[in-house]
Amino acid sequence: MSLPSTYSERNCSLARALEIVGERWTLLIVRDAFYGVRRFGDFATQLGIPRAVLTARLKLLVREGVLTRDDSAGTVEYVLTDKGVALWPIVRSLINWGDDFYSPAGVKRALRHDADGALLDHEGRCEKCGELVAVGDTRIEPGPGFRPTGAEVDPVSAALNTPRRLLEPISAARTTPAG
C-alpha cells in the first residue's frame, strides 16, 4: 500500500501487512499463485493486469519473500514460499465474505477436503472429519454460483475451472493440451 514510511500507526500489524499485500492486484496475484499459476504470461492474461504493474508486484513479492523466482528450469516460475502460503487464511476469508454477500446463487468456487471430498467451513475445517485442512490438501472446484463465460478456450483458464488441488502447478496443462 506504500503508506508514507512515516506512517503514524506503526503499532498495527494490519498496516504492516497491507504495505505488502494491500496494493492493487497483489492479492489477486497471490490467489492465482494458490491456484497454480506460476508464469509471468499466465498471470498477465488471467488477470488482465498491465505488464509493467505485474513486474513491479512480482518484484515486491519476491523481495518480501512471499514468492520465489525460480529460473533454473529454462522458464521462469514464481512459486509461493511458506510465508506466501501463510496468506491463505486471508485469501480464504476474503473469498468467504465475497461469497456470503455478493453471490446469492451460492459460492462461486467450492473448497473441499481432497481426502474425503467434504466442504470446508468458514474456519477452514473439513465439515466431515473436522480436521483443519492444509492448503495442499484443499481441492477447489466450480460451485453453484459459478457462471461459465463460455469463452475459455485457453488451456490455463480451462485448467483453473476444473476441480484441482491448490498449489498444484498448471504448467502441465499448458505443455500437454487437453485435446
Partner DNA sequence: CAACTCCGGTTCAGTGAGCGAACCAGCGGA
Partner DNA sequence: TCCGCTGGTTCGCTCACTGAACCGGAGTTG
- Based on CB atoms, which residue is closest to its own copies, 28 or 54? 28
Helix (H) or strand (E) holding 4: none
CA distance 48 to 24: 13
In this chain, which stretch among 54-62, 72-80, 116-124, 171-179 interacts with its own copies, using CB under 8 A? Answer: 116-124
CA dist 32 and 40 (Å) reads 11
Nearest CA to 170 among 33, 61, 31, 72? 33
Q: Which of 149, 175, 177, 178 is the binder for its own copies (CB under 8 A)?
A: 149
Radius of gyration of the chain from its Cα atoms, rounded to whole angstroms: 17
The footprint of DNA on residues 5-34 (CB under 7 A) is 23-25
Q: Return residues touching its own copies (CB under 8 A).
A: 1, 4, 7-18, 21-22, 24, 27-28, 31, 46-48, 65, 83, 86-87, 89-91, 93-103, 107-109, 122-124, 132, 142, 146-147, 149, 161
